[in-house]
Structure 1
Amino acid sequence: MSAQASDMSGWLLLGLPGAVYLSGLKQVWVIIGLIIGTYINWKIVAPRLRMQTEEHEALTIPTFISKKSNDTKGYVKTFSAIVILFFFTIYSASGLVSNGKLFESLLGIDYKLGVLVGGGTIIFYTFLGGYLAGVWTDFFQGILMFFAIIIVPVTAYFVVGGSSAIDVAMTQKHISLNLLKYPEALSIPVIISGLGWGLGYFGQPHIIVKFMSIKSVNELWKARLIAMVWVIISLVCSIAIGITGIALFKNVQDPEKIFIYMIGKLFNPWIAGILYAAILSAIMSTISAQLLVASNTLTEDFYKYIVKREKTNKELIWVGRICIIIIFIIATLLSMNPNSEVLSLVSYAWAGFGAVFSPVILFILYKKEMNWKNILISMVVATITVIFWNQSGLGKKIYEIVPGFLVNMFCLYILEKFIKSKK
């Protein structure tokens, strides 16, 4: 539950319903990709990652990759840390955008002030607790998110008058649940791009780090079952929010606020307050998990390696806190545009982690030895590919995770085939 709450950020309650509200089921391939990716992640990554990180005494993903590839110079570890900090900053910005939109809608305050208020709250409670506290808060926030995302579309369905009323509203907006009416939704690039989201799961540090802390490998089958039930129901209900929202509201200025508008219209203030808290929970659970992983990465994989002298626990704690503050400041600057889209920011960060880390994680989990130089080259090439693909606009044709992932896999395969592993 904690892992999936960290996974499904504000985009589950804001970004995805907004996309469905605008265009119907064109996002269905993303949903299918995420469901498949979740299952494969728990099935083939979680068990080996849990055992091998314990065997190598690795507390972070960069440390694990570095030790498994015999990176005695720390180059892989350092580059991994830089990538994590870069894309987590973008990911955190998506959460702050969600915060701004939530507080702007509820309190009528300026969007930018909403970003600062929400972000400040997250920073405060992240400082108060550590990793274990974060896991427990993610757990309870995940439960709240789960019930909220079920209650709202079910209530909306009966309030609007059932499927017939929804069909009429969708027809008036020229939206259909029949994908055959949208040839572009059945095109190869759209299908590949949507399913490509599933490739990202194996490389999301804030998700797979939860595998490392599970009590026993024998407990994984239970966790996998809970995760799959949570993900499938949550994603289906997220689509249902967008569809029922079409019948409730003919037009909205910002489609990503459709869930917020629906809560305000369907429920009394007391219940609405609880449901609004679910949106805040979705945002907070993901950002706090990301900030903790980023903080741990900086202290364990960067600061400890660069600063050779003996360091106290208090010093490391403050270094981690400073890292959190720096990420927050940069993410805040990135999220100050009220027109920013949660889904676009999330997709960019997701692609970055998926393209850079997913192939590497799969290789090192199923290969006894790897050359750290090969890994470093592949990661650098994948990073450049993702950034270029996104900034050049090619991501509108094929989601950047696909070329980034394939380039990384190709480089790893070719380099490992011709350059033998060296200790």
Structure 2
Amino acid sequence: MTASTPLIVTFAIYLFLMVAIGFAAWRATRSFDDYILGGRSLGGFVTAMSAGASDMSGWLLMGLPGALYLGGVSEAWIALGLVVGAWFNWRFVAGPLRIYTERTRNALTLPDYFTHRFADRDRLLRVLSALVILVFFAVYCASGIVAGARLFESVFGVPYAQALWYGAAVTILYTFIGGFLAVSWTDTVQASLMIFALLLTPIVVVLSNGGIGPSLALVEQVDPTRLDWFKGGALGLVGIVSLLAWGLGYMGQPHILARFMAADSLATIPKARRIGMTWMVLCLFGAMAVGFFGIAYFAAHPEQGGMVRENPERVFIALSTLLFNPWVAGVLLSAILAAIMSTLSCQLLVCSSALTEDFYKGFVRPHAGQRELVWFGRAMVLLVALAAIWIARDPESRVLGLVAYAWAGFGAAFGPVVLFSLYWQRMTRNGALAGMVVGALTVILWKQTGSALYEMVPGFLAASVAIVVVSLLDRVPDDDVQATHQQVHAALQENGY
């Protein structure tokens, strides 16, 4: 398709606004702490919206609607698992992690937290966790770049190879300039745009089909199993467990955990949880409705479904351009770009933080000044972005597939380690190392088997067993490590946790 003037104008205004926010954040960034964690200054609303936007990447408006369009309501098990997992993460991880990172030498990154939580003088945890971040985030960043390329390819009709660069350019720019504050402030704007698009679009799609009843009838004509949560029994227990298991991944996602660490206080967390969960439920419902009722729309208008037949992940793009005034369509398509940019930006920043804080400052320049660290961090944003663009160069890449692999990698490698580290005083440094290695390797190896069971499940279970067994075989943690753990939980109890 060829982009109309309204589409070009609305995209340009949106992109200009994001860059302007990046420059505003640049003026508020005075140290490396500001650049990678915003000086722990985020209030409840920004914490919630930033966590949500950084979580729900381009897959929310492309991968998830595409999955519902192809598979019907049975794909909604993913959303159910995500809602339960996100609530658990907000309720049982956010508060303790916020306190613990402050009590462990003001840890700024997840590897930094692991190092000080277990008094790892050899810094093996720092190196290993930073490597896990770089490996799986390279894949995760690539998913965002693929989604952006698909958007620019579909809307502006440019070749995929060029669209890769167009989709990533502005995100790289404002992340490079403004760091964590730019990412968090833009996330808030982007989250607002996403929920607007995901509430409006399914309503218009249903109305264009003549209502919910006629829509369901059309879906049943196409394929009755798309109305069945169990696909007529074909989904099976393994399939349901695999879809629900997406929720396990939340406890290990560095870009989401960083938002908890950046909250201005423990008291902010409950308010942020309420806002964040409401936003998430509404967005997931809207995204699923777009894909599901899109089945009915294109069944009634098969002549308009060429773009979707070619790639089901374009169903939101197609419906937006077909059903809305070009000016409104421009705003709705900007929501896809918002979802992509919000996640990609925080992923680039987490990778940059790992390279800067955990490698450069940790091993190369321990006494580097704040200005030097900020500029090195900016250089690493560019380096990671180039690596992700290289991974995303295959035009056959699918957004949901890339996200699923990276999500499982982080969930299995970091999720059990984070959870046990917050609640089990007896956990040791070697237990954490074992959990991280076993979780990551299980995901990588299980993926090669081609099993129908999502690699998150065996990875998370294997990592948990490794942590418990190795910790119990290891010597008891030092007194000061146990004392810090007790102080953290005393503080939590004082605040009603």
TMscore range, shorter length: over 0.9
Contact between 2:55 and 2:256, CA under 8 Å: does it hold in 1?
Answer: yes
Distance 2:375 2:263 in 1: 27
Question: RCO higher in 1 or 2 (8 Å CA, sep ≥ 6)?
Answer: 1
Contact between 1:153 and 1:237, CA under 8 Å: does it hold in 2?
Answer: yes
Amino acid in the other structure paired with 1:310: H
Q: What is the match of residue 419 of structure 1? A: 474
Q: What SS is found at the alignment partner of 2:234?
A: helix
How many angstroms does 1:421 deviate by?
A: 3.2
TM-score, normalised with respect to structure 1: 0.96
Change in 2 beyond 3 A, CA 1:309/1:145: closer
Q: What is the match of residue 233 of structure 1? A: 282
Q: What is the match of residue 334 of structure 2? A: 277
Q: What SS is found at the alignment partner of 2:405?
A: helix
CA deviation map 1:240-264 (0-9, x unaligned): 0011211222342110000000000
Q: Does 1:171 align with 2:223?
A: no
Q: Greater CA deviation, 148-157 or 334-343?
A: 334-343
- Alignment partner for residue 184 of structure 1, among 234, 249, 255? 234
Q: Does 1:289 align with 2:346?
A: yes
The size of the alignment, in residue pairs, is: 420
How many angstroms does 1:308 deviate by?
A: 4.4
CA deviation map 1:86-143 (0-9, x unaligned): 1111001001110111001100110121111111221111112121121111011001
Q: What is the match of residue 23 of structure 2? A: none
Q: Does 1:119 align with 2:168?
A: yes
Instruction: Give the CA RMSD over aligned residues.
Output: 1.3
- Alignment partner for residue 464 of structure 2, among 400, 409, 416? 409
Distance 1:184 1:357 in 2: 32
Mapping for residues 4-403 of structure 1, pairs under 5 Å: 4-56=52-104, 57-175=106-224, 176-185=226-235, 187-250=236-299, 251=305, 252-394=309-451, 397-403=452-458
How many angstroms does 1:319 deviate by?
A: 2.1
Contact between 2:416 and 2:435, CA under 8 Å: does it hold in 1?
Answer: no
CA deviation map 1:364-417 (0-9, x unaligned): 1012353212211221121111111113322xx110111110000000111112
Distance 1:416 1:192 in 2: 28
Distance 1:240 1:373 in 2: 46
Q: What SS is found at the alignment partner of 1:109?
A: coil
Amino acid in the other structure paired with 2:446: W
Q: Does 1:2 align with 2:50?
A: yes
Contact between 1:68 and 1:369, CA under 8 Å: does it hold in 2?
Answer: no
Distance 2:353 2:261 in 1: 14
Distance 1:287 1:228 in 2: 21
TM-score, normalised with respect to structure 2: 0.82
Distance 1:317 1:216 in 2: 25
Q: What SS is found at the alignment partner of 1:216?
A: coil
Contact between 1:6 and 1:138, CA under 8 Å: does it hold in 2?
Answer: yes
Q: What SS is found at the alignment partner of 2:198?
A: helix
Identity of matched residues, %: 44
Contact between 2:412 and 2:456, CA under 8 Å: does it hold in 1?
Answer: yes
Contact between 1:386 and 1:400, CA under 8 Å: does it hold in 2?
Answer: yes
